[in-house]
Amino acid sequence: MIGATLFALFTVLMLAGVPIAAALGVGGMVAIALANPDTQWFGLLAAPQNMEAGVSKYPLLALPMFVLVGSIFDRAGVAQRMVNFALACVGRSPGMLPLVAIAVAMVLGGISGSGPANAAAVGAVMIAAMSRAGYPAPFSASIVGAAAATDILIPPSIAFIVYSVNVPGASVPALFAAGVFPGLLAGLALMVPAVWLSRRRGYGGRERDLPRPPFWHSLREASWGLVAPVLILGGMRAGWFTPTEAAVVAVAYGLFVGLAVHRTICWRDLYGIFREAAEVSAVIMTVMALAGIFAYSVNTLGMADPLVQAVQAAGLNSTGALAALLVIGLIVGMFLDGVSIFLIFLPLLYPLMMVYRWDPVWFGVLLTMVVAIGQFTPPMAVNLLVACRLAGVRIEQTLPHVGWLVLGFVAAALLVAAFPLLALWLPSSMGF
């Protein structure tokens, strides 16, 4: 009964547009108060403690650091240079520019950790370039929105950091390693329909005969940016850094590249960059803090038990339950960002994971994949919204294009669901 009240209140508040953080906090506190009518202060003294505990986790320090890395590389001008280099490699025939957009989004995904920031960085460079080459703006927006969704799979990923601090048995390095192949697979699964659609519909032939950028020169220009993911991932792989330290090294490296090498950042911009990163991190961490209260009430009131019993009573086997959860994740992902989804549902999903003995790392990757699909599926997709805003199109106009990209990404997710080794081989062979 109290559980139903908690979720009903929480859902109504959220739909009304109350910030997700506040909806989680209010729902959690009302449930605690209803459950403890006779305790001193209705047991609510647990609320500030759990709020503090929600963000007082040392591994969480990686989150603001990677957000900062994203804002620095956003302004460091690496995206344009990577695009030039990629064009030097593949040329300008129809379908190549979307391919480049996806590849660059994936490399940037290896630097920053959040999808909307990636969509903004890639969109700022690619959407104008694609429209010059004769791609329709809604198509370009769909490509950029979908490509940026690979970001939360390709390490470093903010979503994985949040998952890890909330799920015992899934360490950040293990999740990061597990995301590599599914992320590459997802990128490939987007490239195939992107190239196929452009060829079939005759998009992007206008600049076919322009010369390619010179290979060695563009490689040298792009190399500063291309080294960043190698430094971050390689440094963690080699055991030089923890994820947090890798992030802070990337901060220093990005500032060096922006201030001294490309000279795209000047000292006066630093305050703005730090302010943006501090605010974005604070907004995410506010959700985490207040989700701490929500999770406490879900756990202490034993609200996950009826759910687990209901799923088992429905007679679903492991595959059926997994399929149902992933479909729910996909739908919810269309309305909410990945981090909020993890914080709301993990207290409920963790007991199910235990019952069915799913590998927490593999399940985290799968859940992240379906959530990523939701991030560019209309009508409420965050990444697609950013890309549409940059392209100056309405989200409905992307419908003829984005469906194919969704299909591609779903196929990649199904492959990872069917063959868990795609995710788990790398972390196990690296010994995480």
Give the interface with another protein as residue ranges (CB under 8 A). Answer: 13-23, 25-26, 29, 41, 44-45, 47-49, 51-52, 55-58, 60-61, 64-65, 68, 241, 244-245, 248-249, 251-252, 271, 274-275, 277-279, 281-287, 289-290, 335-337, 340, 379-380
Q: Contact at 8 Å (CB) between 186 and 409?
A: yes
Question: How far is 90 from 385, CA to CA, in rounded Å?
Answer: 29
271: CB partners within 8 A, 6+ apart: none
Residue 338: what residue type?
G
Question: How far is 64 from 85, CA to CA, in rounded Å?
Answer: 30
Return the number of the residue (100 or 341) whose C-beta is nearest another protein: 341
Return the number of the residue (185 or 249) whose C-beta is nearest another protein: 249
Give the count of alpha carbons within 13 A of 361, CB side only.
Answer: 23
Question: How far is 315 from 313, CA to CA, in rounded Å?
Answer: 5
Omega into 19 within 30° of 0, i.e. cis? no
Return the number of the residue (244 or 368) whose C-beta is nearest another protein: 244
What are the tokens at 253?
A: 């490296």
Question: How far is 25 from 303, CA to CA, in rounded Å?
Answer: 16
Q: C-beta of 282: minimal distance to another protein in Å?
A: 2
Q: C-beta of 242: minimal distance to another protein in Å?
A: 9
What are the tokens at 249?
A: 């090294």
Return the number of the residue (338 or 427) whose C-beta is nearest another protein: 338
Q: C-beta of 393: minimal distance to another protein in Å?
A: 17
Q: C-beta of 188: minimal distance to another protein in Å?
A: 31
What are the tokens at 432?
A: 């995480």
Question: How far is 156 from 301, CA to CA, in rounded Å?
Answer: 35
Q: Contact at 8 Å (CB) between 108 and 118?
A: yes
Q: C-beta of 216: minimal distance to another protein in Å?
A: 34
Return the number of the residue (65 or 412) whose C-beta is nearest another protein: 65
Return the number of the residue (245 or 359) whose C-beta is nearest another protein: 245
Q: C-beta of 273: minimal distance to another protein in Å?
A: 10
Q: Contact at 8 Å (CB) between 79 and 122?
A: yes
- Tell me the H-state helices in 301-394: 304-313, 318-333, 338-356, 360-374, 382-391
Q: C-beta of 13: minimal distance to another protein in Å?
A: 6
Question: How far is 172 from 246, CA to CA, in rounded Å?
Answer: 12
Return the number of the residue (49 or 309) whose C-beta is nearest another protein: 49
Q: C-beta of 47: minimal distance to another protein in Å?
A: 5
Return the number of the residue (285 or 416) whose C-beta is nearest another protein: 285
